[in-house]
Structure 1
Amino acid sequence: MSVEPGFDREFVLAELITPRDADEICAQLATVLGLPVAMLDAAGVPFGGDAAAGRSARAPLTLELEPVGFLACDCDTAALKGAARVVRWGLLSRARFRMVSDLHLEAVRADYAKLQQQNEALKASEAKYRELAEVLDAKVKEQVRIIDERQRQLYQAERLASIGQLAAGVAHEINNPLGFVTSNLSVAERYVARFAALRDAVPADTWKAADLDFVLDDFAELLTDSQQGVARIARIVKDLKGFSSVDQPDVQLTDLNAQLESLFAVIAGQQPPGVTLKSELSPLPPVMCLPGLLNQAFLNVLQNALQAVGEGGSVTLRSAATDTHIVVQVDDDGPGIADEVLPYIFDPFYTTRGVGGGTGLGLTVARDIVVTHGGTIAAITRPEGGARVTVELPL
């Protein structure tokens, strides 16, 4: 803080008294001296009192080295100087009061400036902490989102593990009776052949009366149909094992087309009446993945597409490869996805179906699985109608 300029400066007469004060002082001095008195400024210009007396003898009003004004009167010189000393003391008191006032004002201004600086510093600190709080809040929200995704993925992994164990148990329990049923059917075919060889040994009228030709032919057809049914059961068990990947629990190099074919066979039994399910699979290079998880993701997308189309509609599963990615697309010719709905279809628990029509987690789980594999999933409404979901997985 610097107050020297205001503290040491020299005053002028007008800073210490007003012309009205000067008139009153001169009037009182005129009463004492018995003659008109005038007060002049440092330049000799009349400032107060009787202007005509300004041409009389003068006594300086000196505060420091230079006079700030003069008293003028035709009285005795000694009396005029005495009056000037009295006025000087009054001016000196005014000057000291002004100096103290200026000093106080300088101090107040300095304190105010310091408070302003502190206020600006506090504002800057507040803004910094507010920004930090916003950053921390964003990080907390991001961590909460990641935790929610990890929980869903963990739930899905546990669910798939349970499905895998169930599939393994079902496959084991089915394969055992399936083995001896297959064996018995083969034996029965041989028995039918042996019965047919007895035709010449049985009287013709007896053979014809028992209609054994029809019995043998129909029994052979029944055995053939039964063998086809057993083969279909075996294929279903194989597809179920392939879909759940009960024998392949870890990350491995996988033929994704084989997984899609198994999935296609499993979901074919779920297609609504009148809906066509088609596949257009192009050759794909092997890819490192968790087959069971990807099967679940593609199953959710296909189920969503099947639910979107009506009778007479179709769903098409496609696969293709680029230099850097494997691309899997699911097209449907349903009503498509409304623009106001599209941004939310992968959000947890978001569904356009009525109460009990879905949990709103199918596409969310599919997205989480695809993202876990480093891929992307996107949905659009096709220009020709219907919706398309595209999954891209890095090679």
Structure 2
Amino acid sequence: MPFSQFLGKSIVWIAGALWILVSVVWLTVTSLQVRDILPQETALRQTLLTADEALIELNNQLGFGGFIHNFKNAVLRPAEKQSYLEAFQQNALAIRRSSQQLLTYCPDLGLQIGALLSTVQEYEDKAEFLAQTQLTGPLEIDPLVRVSDDNAIEALLDIVHQSQVATIQHAAELDQRKTRLYGLSALLLFGIIVTALGLYAYALLIVQRNRANTEAIRLSAETVEGMNAAILRLDTDGEIEASNKNARKLFGDILEPGSEPLITRLMHSFPSVRSEDPLFRAFLGMSVDNEVGLYTLPDGSQRYLRILGMPRSNDLEDRKGVIEVSDVTEKVVADTLKEQNRNVLVLGQMARGIVHDVRNINATMRFTLMALAKRGGSEDAQGLIENANAALSASDQLTTRLLDFATAGQEEMSTYPLSKVFDTLRSMSCGLSLGDTAIVIEPASDTACLSGNPDALLAALINLVVNARNALSKVPEVQGEIRVSVVPGETVIGHQGWKICLVDNGPGFPDAILAGAQPGRIKGEGYGLGLSIARSVAADMGGYMDLSNRPEGGARVVLELPAALADPDHDAEETGDSAAPILVVDDSHTSAWLVTRELKALGYPTLIALTPQEALTVIRGTALRAVISDLDLRDHMSGYDVLAAAQTVTASLPVMLFTRTPELAKGHPEVPVFGKGKDMKILLTHLQAELEKSGNAILQE
């Protein structure tokens, strides 16, 4: 147990015991004081009784038949004067005796008793004069011996009153003292009981804690023993004090005490370990913070080990501490494969963008060659057209193989939180940074969710960050900063969306790019395919990319993307009323579903075809209201082929192309072409106008 905990527990027990001891002593003293009050009460009652008797005696001696009465009779009855004077003398002695008793009980009555005795003395003086005179006529003697009784009577009344007050005061003082002592005794007794109960509860708590600690230690020992990591505990001398089974399995005989120090035994069993190695430092009792290294184990196998060294103190002489060694080979290999897969994905996205652009160009060239072939011409010209078509077919085969590689043969779609992509991008920002350029990835809202391929979006953002980094490298005098953030947005149709913004403080975009030129066609600028990849990814997700230069300097790229969609089925499907549907042809089910969602909102039934063969089957067997097709559809066919087949069946059928590269779809001037994402609203407006012309429009209220 640490000394601080031991000291804390000792203080509690000592303080509790001292409080109980002091309380018991104080309670004992208080009890003795209470016991002493009982004799005091008895003495007070006796004193009060004596005082009352003295007061009664005084009142009797002064009252009727007493002191004054005998004096008056001695005056009025000369024949019996001597007997009355003797009785008078007895009364005077009794008055003085009672006065002395009252003065002893209540010294504060000295003034009143003095006034009373002064009157008594005056009577005694007159009585002595009366005893010596021979006058026998009462009327002659009375004026000579008359004494005023007013002072005596007033003094007697005051004595009675003061005696009562003193009696009440003495009784009240005893009661207050007794109450105070009883209250203090009760409080001390309550304190003793509470302290005893508190110590008892504290003892129970300590017992429970000890049991819990014992159980925790047992569980901890079992947990440590059963952990996947190797756990070692070093003693002060740097030798193994304890280890679990994984440690014994990993290090074997190294852990057994021997004539050589532990660090020497380690270097013999792990020859590749050097002094700067984390495993070496951990076995020396130094701090190691989850460092990973590749080691050749005694059995000859190579494993990635993560080392965590936790010394007890910073004192190099004290090697006591804990070492945790985890085998992270699978994780390291998995992370390496994941990084390789991400690089492959980036390459795949680049290849996909190239393939789509090339196939769109091939489709335009094929349509142009078909038009030339219909016009006729010399045999040489027809031969050249056939050679060109053969070359285009070979080019289509190559692009198909490259596209299969880029997409792994299928379109991957899921609904995912944008924060996941941002977290991954943030973890890669150090590797993407160049020089002093700062890459800031702001947190994404938890509610920001998208539909599509998260790895594709990550590849797009990586390309945009790399483009911005390369642009900043051309202005070394500027402290470069690249900032990526996301804010709520709205699609061109009015649906909820999210705007991913990337800004930098570099030289900005050239005017040619802002005017719509393809980045790859601007030589020497270093933009490469990054912008094309980002634009393709945005289009695949039903959004678009917007480029601009900031007024304060630097470039701004905004990816306007729709919020997460319901995860649609990837089979061709029919939605809405089956009568005269609108056919949507696109090899990307996500893109097709985005179009059908808007058509359904307008009240139109729809059909989706993911391949040219599906589209041709629908065209031949279904009365359609209109056809909207992507340009690049694989299978050696393009959107031009599908639209031409549709108008062969119904010449007046409204048809239009909806592609992410509308600038490359110029092979048929009579077919309107719209760009995916940004031109969605224009597409719907044009479609509604064409259907109104043909009388197949559904009028909106």
TM-score by length of structure 2 reads: 0.25
Higher relative contact order (CA 8 A, sep 6+): 1
Rg larger in structure: 2
